[in-house]
Chains A and B, each alone.
Chain A
Amino acid sequence: MSLLEVANLGISFGGLKAVDDVSFDVEEGEVFTIMGPNGAGKSTIFNLISRFYKPTSGTIRFGGKDITGLAPHQIAPLGIARTFQNIELFDHSTVLQNLLVGRHSLRRTSFIEDMLFLPKNRREEVRHREEIETIIDFLDLQPYRNQRIAGLPYGVRKVVEMARALALKPKLLLLDEPASGLSVEETQDVAYWIEDIQKDMGITVLMVEHDMKLVNQVSDRVLALDHGSPLAIGLPQEVQSDPAVIEAYLGREEA
């Protein structure tokens, strides 16, 4: 049984089929990349898995359990975390506070206990902060710990976005274009981090990405999409040399 099983997933907006009969499985411990030109439906698939959209057809199973009918807030407690293409951080809070929100699904206190702030709450707060520190260490965010998001550079914000997703202690991490807008060095950092996430933390990664170098460096398998339909699925080399994929990306050669 694969960690994530997507079967015949489809969604239409009005008459437009944004995602059309897409099926793929993500095995535990692998890095699976979805690639395709803009508008191919990649982020839509993420939004379907996060349950922001309701599919018109198909099912999604996570760890054998059918999650197609769940509400968006029920996804995180299952161990699925995601980042957003257009960063959706909490601008008025500090980096630390953003990461602490990431731990919400792991809380053990009720709102009444919070209001009274019993010793149990204090212990829990310390526990949350200790676990957050591991992530801050991992992603080198120490200098930014107490700074407000609103003043941080774009590259740092993307890292915080990833950190917040990791704070969830996910089994599956959905990365939506982690390298978009980053410089060559920053992209290389992302590659190293993804490798560490996979090997040291044992987290399965499902990624949407355009940057071919990054895709080839970290991916175990790739799915190519075009106009919502799957084109090819397999090892990175195989998919990139698939004629249908080349045609979708580069256009057909004039006869």
Chain B
Amino acid sequence: MEVIQLLLGGLANGCIYGLVALGFVLIYKASEMVNFAQGDMMMLGAMLALTFVNHDYLGWPFVPGVLAAMAVMGVLSFALDKFVLRHIFGQPHFAVVILTIAIGFVIRFIAGVIWGHEPLSLENPFAGKSLHFGGLVMGMEDAAAILMTIVLTGGLYLFFSRTRLGVSMQASSQNQIAAYYMGIPVKLVYSVVWALAGILATVAGVMFASKGTIDPSTGLLGIKAFAAAVIGGFGSLPGALAGGLIVGIVEPFAGRYLLAGYSQIAPYAIMLVVLIVAPNGLFAQMIKKKV
């Protein structure tokens, strides 16, 4: 019983990590950039939601507030790509890594200036409610997180494989110049992808904030989500989710059964093992190049 309880607790966290990891993979699949600022974008999305929803700020109802936050975040991410990331189009991946890390720092700094460094909590309709079944307890916010994740992952998967926009995103990431020749407005596609990633991050952020408090340094959780994306393999959407779930589930078990001090390094240790055994993640997408 305890095992299943731990499992359930980890599942919801895993979904949140999975959502953040999905954001990473989304951007990677479309533009082969790795967005180290995804975690901070999640934090920013949550802060924005807080600003719309909480009574000391704007006091809107929950759903419109969250939707508004998603819209704002989408626009901000779009602008981020259009005005900042545009300049390093075509530069080696390394430059992108550094740039996104730096952007993450800047986001954290600005958030600290606007909202301060005290932990804040998001007023949400899930607080205090929980589901009971068969002797197990699951918080309402956890159930919501799991549900949202399933819906979003399924939606994204269909989007990439079935819609024209999705396919053109994949094309742009595999060979930019060929995509241009095919009439794909590559730069616009990229900005849309970033907007999508920003929206995903907001949802993850709202889910996370519903479970506890947030402050500007919450974005560092992105590193764990990163480990999740790596475990799943960067090119695969379901892989990202799987990776997130693995990390999310391992955490409570590690915390329960391993000595303190070893439990927080569990996700990273697993990631390292996965990388050594399967250098491109579990659901890899690497093919050998013809020389």
Contact = CB atoms under 8 A, between A and B. Distances in A.
Interface in B203-230: none
Contacts of B290: 43
Contacts of B291: 43, 47, 52, 84-86, 88
A85 B290 CA distance: 10
B90 to A, nearest CB: 14
Interface string A83-97: 011101000000000
Interface in B253-291: 290-291
Interface residues of B, number: 2
A86 B291 CA distance: 7
Nearest to A86: B291
Nearest to B290: A43
Contacts of A52: 291
Main secondary structure of the interface of A (DSSP, over half): loop
Interface in A4-45: 43
A94 to B, nearest CB: 20
Nearest to A13: B288
Interface string A71-88: 000000000000011101
Contacts of A43: 290-291
Contacts of A88: 291
B91 to A, nearest CB: 14
Contacts of A84: 291
A7 B291 CA distance: 23
A86 B290 CA distance: 10
A118 to B, nearest CB: 35
A156 B273 CA distance: 46
A84 B290 CA distance: 11
B57 to A, nearest CB: 51
A85 B291 CA distance: 7
Contacts of A85: 291
Contacts of A86: 291
A198 B259 CA distance: 70
B266 to A, nearest CB: 36
Contacts of A47: 291
A43 B291 CA distance: 8
B288 to A, nearest CB: 8
Nearest to A176: B291
A169 B290 CA distance: 27
A145 B216 CA distance: 54
B212 to A, nearest CB: 49
B225 to A, nearest CB: 34
A84 B291 CA distance: 7
B92 to A, nearest CB: 11
B290 to A, nearest CB: 8
B291 to A, nearest CB: 6
Nearest to A44: B290
A221 to B, nearest CB: 26
Nearest to A47: B291
A181 B290 CA distance: 19
A106 B216 CA distance: 56
A47 B291 CA distance: 8
A12 to B, nearest CB: 13
B204 to A, nearest CB: 38
Interface in B114-165: none
A174 to B, nearest CB: 12
A56 to B, nearest CB: 15
A254 B290 CA distance: 36
A244 B291 CA distance: 29
A118 B124 CA distance: 71
A52 B290 CA distance: 10
A114 to B, nearest CB: 26
A88 B291 CA distance: 9
A19 B291 CA distance: 16
Interface in A196-246: none
Nearest to A52: B291
A18 to B, nearest CB: 10
A94 B291 CA distance: 23
Interface in A145-181: none
B182 to A, nearest CB: 22
A66 B165 CA distance: 53
Nearest to A84: B291
Interface string B54-90: 0000000000000000000000000000000000000
Interface in A102-116: none
B178 to A, nearest CB: 16
A205 to B, nearest CB: 20
8 contacts: A43-B290, A43-B291, A47-B291, A52-B291, A84-B291, A85-B291, A86-B291, A88-B291
Interface of B: 290-291
Given A85-B291, A86-B291, 6 more contacts: A43-B290, A43-B291, A47-B291, A52-B291, A84-B291, A88-B291
> Which 8 residue pairs spanning A and B have beta carbons closest together?
A47-B291, A84-B291, A52-B291, A86-B291, A43-B291, A88-B291, A85-B291, A43-B290
Interface of A: 43, 47, 52, 84-86, 88
